[in-house]
Structure 1
Amino acid sequence: MRTTGALLLASIAAVGIAVLVVPAVTQSTPAAELTPVSAPARTLALTPPMGFNDWNSFGCDVSEELIKQTADYFVSSGMRDAGYRYVNIDDCWMARHRDADGRLTPDPDKFPSGIAGTADYVHSHGLKLGLYEDAGTRTCAGYPGSLGHEQLDAQTFAAWGVDYLKYDNCNNAGHKTPAQYIERYTTMADALAATGRPIVYSICEWGVHEPWTWAGNIGHLWRTTHDIKDIWSSLKSIIRRNAALSSHAGPGAWNDPDMLEIGNGGMTDAEYRTQFSLWAEMAAPLLVGTDLRRASPSTMTIYLNQDVIDVDQDPLGKQGRLVSTDHDRLVFAKPLSNGDVAVALFNGSDTTATISTSAAQAGLGAARNGYLLRDLWSRATILTTGDITATVAPHATVMYRISSTRFGT
């Protein structure tokens, strides 16, 4: 909940002050240095959100039964214990028209218990419920949008027990300028804050107006790219775009390269391990986009790799930076809270490659007796004096957690 002073700042922002200060925020300004519209915006999502979103696998075929069964599976599979918390409903959950009082209404066939009843079920499992809406007149699938209804809709979401809002950008009344985008997304941010309910706010404007330069003022995560597809070319292009934005992320403010496609069948397991590895390395939200009820053992092995999850969820909250780029071969280094560094060697090419860096390039201090490299997929350990190298298969990623503390400095 915002303090009185923060509410005043938010009210000022809603009428235009936030728009006026935008030109002072440049693309090189890290998120941690932005002047927030509301300081409590950083008290939620202190690590990247983890959970599920139905859109990639189901599109408009969403239902209360699906959401409840997914919540059940989070518990029975160990996903909840691994850190997955949010069960998020995407587009198409509502009736085609608002009710006589102007309120959004859940589709009674899809959600016979309503969103409130579904939220109660999810909460009873120790999980949180997410919901979708749009900062336009209609959602992307043509359902009622929230533009002009922000206060009423935010109050409705809070009353239903919603914990997370994904806020999309379709049918946006012809708004094209950064100022117009910021105004629309700020209006909902203020409406959510005014409810007094802690709701994680996911800004989904597809990276159109460089949200990494302003969205940290009002939300907790923001899409940096177009929608992901379950094909290698899509994954590769999104990695490239999101990799360059490491200075803009931090606790409570995350670059979001979109949902996980792991298990949907369009890529190989090596490519899926690359997505999971690099999403963790880039401190991205880990939102599962597959039908977990039918997930294969190999898919679940990826989703439940606790060593990789721990890198994503490290409380220091640093996004891994690019240490080197050589055509399609990228090296990332992510500092961790205990002094370790997570290094990812990514081979985006179509041929096997040897990829190398060093402990010094990765940001590790001198170690008298060497460094321990732990491969987070094979679990093999290597002792090195400073060289970090691996032979990496096409489209694959080798991910190490590197420590010097066990050997003295």
Structure 2
Amino acid sequence: TVSAEKIRATADLMVSTGLRDHGWMFVNIDDGWEAPKRAPNGEIQPNEKFPDMKALADYVHAKGLKLGIYSSPGPRTCGGYLGSYGHEYQDAATWAKWGIDYLKYDWCSYGRIAKDHSLPELQKPYRLMRKALDAVDRDIVYSLCQYGMGEVWKWGAQVGGNLWRTTGDITDTWESMSRIGFGQAELYPYAGPGHWNDPDMLVVGWVGWSEHLHRTRLTVNEQYTHISLWSLLSAPLLLGCDFSRLNAFTLNLLTNDEVLAVNQDPLGKQARRVLQKDDFQVWMKDLSDGSKAVGIFNLGEKRAEFALRWEKIGLARRQSVRDLWRQKDLGEFADEFRASVNRHGVVLIKVSPAE
């Protein structure tokens, strides 16, 4: 059901809701834009729902935004549309000509092409498209989507990826979101500027497929955990919700500049899990100004108190603390910081040595 009209409407909403002004930049077309057949010269063509892809890119760019597209290294995409197999250089040139800024390259049917699941075979199609993208005179962000096969985080940057999915698809449940998010703990060495671990999209707002949308099943506290954890992880923040149904709560979740600054911090470090105790996990991220972002997460089934001793996470005994969701200085704390954390919730703070 994706169409040029919907992409234009999404771009309009990214401006009118203020999302663009808080740093949300990409409007990405997923599967379903491709025509059933290529042109006689082999060029990939959009279907009737996208009558003029160049004009669409121009429209999105005029809004101060960027446009993304989707393909597969296999003959067919996951939705059964034409993939890029055998036309990699041609497709990259076509996308550049249209003005595309981002490519999600989804494994899909390439499983029938690959001889096996050895590293060379897993890497081969992604190396090839990297060469094709390098051959065009346009910067295109390159997203590897192959669900974490072959521990892609260890080699995604080597094959030229800018981000790589580390897991299968997320769903809007606590079980899925928490398993994926908290499961990223060992991946921090592989993230950095220009190459990121991607634990999949954000499942807030009205989510689902096609016209079958529903309000996210995550509770309010779980949504705070979701955005906080993805920000600490330096994860790509990708929205899969209906922008026309963004309520005030969801919009506030997505436009807190102090939380987004944690995600976008130029140092580009991914947070580490520095403490686990009972139902609590503490994650800490180094920031470019020398301070730390710290998430205190309660994975338990009831609200609980937690005392975070600075020495336990390697910090000096006296720290200044700012609550990032409330955008409020909490003062100086000697030795420890005590927080009451909701069920499945988080307290997200920024700490720096007190003078």
Match of 1:227 among 169, 173, 178: 169
Structure-2 separation of matches of 1:253 and 1:355: 34
1:363, CA displacement in angstroms? 4.4
Match of 1:94 among 31, 34, 40: 34
2:125 maps to which residue?
Answer: 184
Q: Is the 8 A contact 1:232 1:267 kept in 2?
A: yes
Q: Is the 8 A contact 1:333 1:344 kept in 2?
A: yes
Match of 1:85 among 25, 31, 35: 25
1:270, CA displacement in angstroms? 1.4
The AA in structure 2 aligned to 1:310 is A
**Partner secondary structure for residue 288 of structure 1:** coil
**Is 2:10 the counterpart of 1:70?**
yes
Q: Is the 8 A contact 1:92 1:143 kept in 2?
A: yes
**Is 2:335 the counterpart of 1:394?**
no
Structure-2 separation of matches of 1:183 and 1:281: 31
Relative contact order, higher structure (CA 8 A, sep 6+): 1
1:132 maps to which residue?
Answer: 70
1:379, CA displacement in angstroms? 3.1
Q: Is the 8 A contact 1:341 1:363 kept in 2?
A: no
Match of 1:197 among 108, 118, 138: 138
Structure-2 separation of matches of 1:386 and 1:287: 38
Match of 2:97 among 156, 159, 174: 159
1:349, CA displacement in angstroms? 2.2
**Partner secondary structure for residue 306 of structure 2:** strand
1:66, CA displacement in angstroms? 1.3
Structure-1 separation of matches of 2:131 and 2:314: 39
For structure 1, the 5+ residue unaligned runs are 1-60
Query: Which TM-score applies when normalising by structure 1?
Result: 0.80
Query: Which TM-score applies when normalising by structure 2?
Result: 0.92
**Is 2:151 the counterpart of 1:215?**
no
1:373 maps to which residue?
Answer: 321
Match of 1:121 among 40, 59, 62: 59
The worse-fitting range, judged by mean Cα deviation, of 314-323 and 75-84 is 75-84
For structure 2, the 5+ residue unaligned runs are 207-214
Structure-1 separation of matches of 2:311 and 2:286: 12
Structure-2 separation of matches of 1:65 and 1:139: 22
Residue by residue, what CA displacement relative to the aligned partner does 1:194-215 show, whole Å, maximum 9, x if unpaired? 1121110000110011111101
The AA in structure 2 aligned to 1:149 is H
Structure-2 separation of matches of 1:128 and 1:379: 29
Structure-2 separation of matches of 1:304 and 1:285: 15
**Partner secondary structure for residue 184 of structure 2:** helix
Structure-2 separation of matches of 1:259 and 1:179: 28
Q: Is the 8 A contact 2:258 2:327 kept in 1?
A: no
Question: Identity across aligned pairs (percent)?
Answer: 44
Q: Is the 8 A contact 1:231 1:267 kept in 2?
A: yes
How many positions carry a matched residue from both structures?
341
2:106 maps to which residue?
Answer: 168
